[in-house]
Amino acid sequence: MRRYGKHTDEDDVRVRPNRKGNRPRTSIRPKHEDAAEGMVLTVDRGRLTCLVDDRTVVAMKARELGRKAAVVGDRVDLVGDLSGHKDTLARIVRIGERASLLRRTADDDDPYERVVVANADQLAIVTALADPEPRPRLIDRCLVAAYDGGLEPLLVLTKSDLAPASALLDLYGALDIPYVVTSRDELYAGEAANVVREHLDDRITAFVGHSGVGKTTLVNALVPEGKRRTTGRVNAVTGRGRHTTTSALALPLAGAGGWVIDTPGVRSFGLHHVDPSRVIHAFPDLEPGMEHCPRACSHDEPGCALDDWVARGHADPARLYSLRRLLATRERREGD
Ligand SMILES: Nc1nc2c(ncn2[C@@H]2O[C@H](COP(=O)(O)OP(=O)(O)OP(=O)(O)O)[C@@H](O)[C@H]2O)c(=O)[nH]1
Ligand SMILES: [Zn+2]
């Protein structure tokens, strides 16, 4: 089992070795034998909303879980009042082993980890082609987080009515990432949702993107009407506006199996926690070439065996360039 690094108190995480991977299992022996299984849909100030059968149950973490936090997408075991009635509170007694884990640090200098989403199959990186301008470094950083966490990336390029997609697609050609391009007209006609949905059926997809790229508009087109996320409204009771956007929120995909997990808009995507070896794992054409690298090779230094590997024709030089570009995004720069 592959374990995540020392920066985390999550002790039972592994990167999914293959799509069919083993079902997540709990690592602790069952104590609450009567517990029901659920999935965490959202987390708000210590209250976790979980789906149990077809009921929405609000729960809190049992004390026995210690510091371990359940996050959106987690498979959990619950006990207590599971009726889902108003003002009831269940307890989460177990968190299942995670098949993937999307994480970010607020900042690379900030070692505190903010876990975003567990168990997603896919990371949809939403980028507007204009308004706001695309930020390739942010895309690259999201890609690194996806590879690190065991998620398959999907590029979603919005607002093609404002600017063409070609330049950006050129930049990612060597990475061979699936992508979709959407425009305002396609969005209104419902075509955008159909095109995107082809990539989502029966999968759990986390959506990330800079604020303003059209992420919420798209996610709302993908989920049933009654489940849509409302934004920009201030709650009359709490006086808080848009508080749901501080946490990720899992929503069922309309008309098919699968889940869409909307996440709050990101300005930066800190990668303090990333282990380069997990990123390199996403480059199986280059990985064997590293055998002859010097110890602790950064793969971007004289003596790195990858130059020779590519020169001998084992892999496309553009792939090595892309890998180096991704690894370099772990260094923080102004504006990341
Ligand atoms: N021209 C154009 N505008 C779009 C498109 N998709 C979304 N928009 C507009 O872009 C603006 C931002 O869309 P949102 O869906 O609120 O963006 P968001 O990414 O969720 O942003 P936050 O809610 O701040 O995280 C809205 O005014 C949308 O109408 C598109 O394909 N083309
Ligand atoms: Zn190397």
- Tell whether 254 is covered by a domain: yes
pTM reported for the whole predicted model: 0.83
- Tell whether 247 is covered by a domain: yes
Ligand closest in space to the Cα of 220: 1
Are 120 and 159 within one domain?
yes
Q: In ligand 1, which atom is closest to the CA atom of 183?
A: 31
- Tell whether 18 is covered by a domain: no
Q: Out of 121-135, 189-203, 222-236, 242-256, which region has the weakest mean confidence (pLDDT)?
A: 222-236
Are 70 and 143 within one domain?
no
ipTM: 0.96
Are 255 and 106 within one domain?
yes
Residue numbers of the domain that contains 45: 36-95
Are 239 and 304 within one domain?
no
Please answer whether residues 130 and 162 qualify as being in contact, where contact means their C-beta atoms are separated by less than 8 angstroms.
Answer: yes
Pocket of ligand 1 (CB under 6 A): 158-159, 161-162, 182-184, 187, 209, 211-217, 231, 265
Least Cα distance to 181 among 128, 226, 250 occurs for 128
Q: How many helices (H) and strands (E) does the chain have?
A: 8, 13
50 carries a ligand binding annotation: no
127 carries a ligand binding annotation: no
93 carries a ligand binding annotation: no
CA 295 – ligand 2 centroid, Å: 8
Name the domain count of the chain: 3
Say what the pLDDT of residue 138 is.
Answer: 86
Ligand closest in space to the Cα of 283: 2
Q: CA 250: distance to chain centroid?
A: 12
User: Residue 212 sits in a domain of what CATH number?
Assistant: 3.40.50.300
Q: How does residue 230 score in pLDDT terms, banded at 50, 70 and 90?
A: low
